[in-house]
Structure 1
Amino acid sequence: MITLAAQEGLTIDWANMPTYNTIMAVAVGAGLIGLVQLGRQLRTDPTKVSTEGWAVTFGLLGAILAATGLHMTLTWPLAAGGFPFDNIIFGETSLGFGALLLGTSFYLWKRGAAALATSRPVETLARVAQPVTVFVGGLGLSLLAIAVAGVKYELFAAPPQEPISGEFADYPLVEAIFMSGLIALVGLGALAFAFLVNRVVNGRSTAVWARVTGWLWAVSGVLFLLFGAMNFFTHIGLIVNTM
């Protein structure tokens, strides 16, 4: 519950306001960066790819996102203090990305080495990934819808009691545009990835789509990672200032 007292300012009942989109943001950023790095290795020198290393990496990140995303998705609303849309924005999307990373981890652990040993490893992996591009593309469209909703309803604005982000409390569109733009970048990258994989399978030119996907996910991944790391400070500050 959130209350506002004239003398004390904003007070939040944190027992009813659990939040962990801090670790979610860091894991999402690391996952996106990891996918770009893996893609670059596959395109330049597949022999240098450590399938076990990437399997462990994606497994750890996928477990974090799937666990937190599943809890947030099934606990409605997770934050009873007034932010039920967070269940959709952060919970459902993290669950979807986490499940994809876990699936990727499992395949690389069990079959990754065999796939890289084929004469055309990139094409082999693309054929494995092609069926899931429908879901990836659907998530991409969903992220674009969230981005539009973020600007239309001016979501993501931090209260003035939150350090750094709270400086823009009187200008809710600032953070709404930043976060919506960041989410849109990931969504566009997901759509580009779906096109990329299908072009690889069909033997068509992929250079442009590979660069577009890589840049979209690299930029958004770095921003998510840094923003999530910063939020460990800002969210702690918000808790201290509103207890």
Structure 2
Amino acid sequence: MNSFTSIMGLCAGAGLLLTVGIGYKLVWRSAPEQGASPAPPISWAGWSITLAVTGVILTVSGGVMYLFYPLDVPGEQSKNFIFGEPSAVYGLLLIATAAYLWRRGSHLTLDRIYAVLSPIALLVGGIGLVMTSNAVGALGNQIFETAPECEPVLGTWPSWIIGPALTTIITILPGLGCLAFSAAAWSRKRAAWLLCGAAWTLAGIGLVALGVFVPGAHIFMEYCALSQ
């Protein structure tokens, strides 16, 4: 569990934050000038390399989870597809985005950006609906309320806080951002972009925090178990 939730959480969170940053440079700053060519201050090569690395890690780790179900402990099996399937799809989207920005990033106009985003919005909106379904299932069955008592912080907090908090970070906020992304790509409304950016930023920060926290917590739990 540690090897998946740490690296996947870190890369998923970083990917969301990178996506928000790219969206700000390409769409938000260019929105007042229809058809204007964005001029990002940072080379797209750096963004593309980071997106590609993040995307490959998510695609591989997410693919392993939803194809092979490595979490086979009762009560943990559903996390294979809650974590794995969205991570794999998102990883592929990050790789595709990296390749597109590498080749065409310097020639993009706002109208061309929306032309590319319109069909992608169908897939992203579907992911948002899947994440919403995952959120309902996770809350209804208390999927994320089972932190071991010896786990620092999470194991000491009451389950009625842990469950909704983790569900919000892992499923609700990313799903809300996906639905807002679809609405924004089709309507070009700044309010929808703002909602998408806010949801993905909060989810990204939360996922990075979980990815950083989980390894130390599980190391602590392992040595705690060995000492007993």
- For 1:158, the equivalent position in structure 2 comes to 147
Instruction: Name the CA shift for 1:242/1:126 in 2 (closer, same or farther; >3 Å).
Output: farther
Unaligned 5+ runs, structure 2? 31-37
Is the 8 Å Cα contact of residues 26 and 229 (structure 1) preserved in structure 2?
Answer: yes
**Following the alignment from structure 1 to structure 2, what is the Cα–Cα distance between the partners of residues 136 and 53?**
24
1:181 aligns to what?
Answer: 168
- 1:44 pairs with 2:33: no
Residue 137 of structure 2 is aligned to residue 137 of structure 1: no
Runs of 4+ in structure 1 over 4 Å off: none
CA distance in 1, matches of 2:86, 2:129: 11
The TM-score normalised by the length of structure 1 is 0.82
Separation in 1 of the partners of 2:137 and 2:3? 21
1:57 paired to 2:46? no
Choose from 144, 149, 159 the match for 1:172: 159
SS at the partner of 2:147?
Answer: coil
- Calculate percent identity across the aligned residue pairs: 30
Q: Is the 8 A contact 1:51 1:112 kept in 2?
A: yes
8 Å CA contact retained: 1:130, 1:197: yes
Instruction: Quote the residue 1:35 is aligned against.
Output: 19
Q: Deviation digits for residues 88-147 of structure 1, max 9, x if unmatched?
A: 1111111111111111111111222232xxxxx122122112112111011111111111
**Letter matched to residue 47 of structure 1:** A
One-letter identity of the residue aligned with 1:220 = A
Structure 1: where are the runs of 5+ without partners?
A: 1-16, 116-120, 201-205
Count of residue pairs brought into register by the alignment: 214
- 2:7 corresponds to which residue? 23
Q: Match of 1:80, SS? A: coil
The answer for the alignment partner of 1:233 in structure 2 is 216
Q: Deviations along 1:174-225, whole A, 9 cap, x unmatched?
A: 211111122201101000001111123xxxxx22111111111111111111
8 Å contact 2:15–2:204 — kept in the other structure?
yes
Match of 2:179 in 1: 191
Letter in 2 for 1:55: S
1:223 to 190, 206, 209: 206
Cα distance between partner residues in 1 of 2:63 and 2:222? 24
Q: Is the 8 A contact 2:2 2:215 kept in 1?
A: no
8 Å CA contact retained: 1:154, 1:173: no
What's the offset of the Cα at 1:18?
A: 6.7
Contact 1:18-1:79 within 8 A present in 2 as well: no
Question: Counterpart of 1:215 in structure 2: which amino acid?
Answer: A
Correspondence 1:65-76 to 2 at 5 A: 65-76=58-69
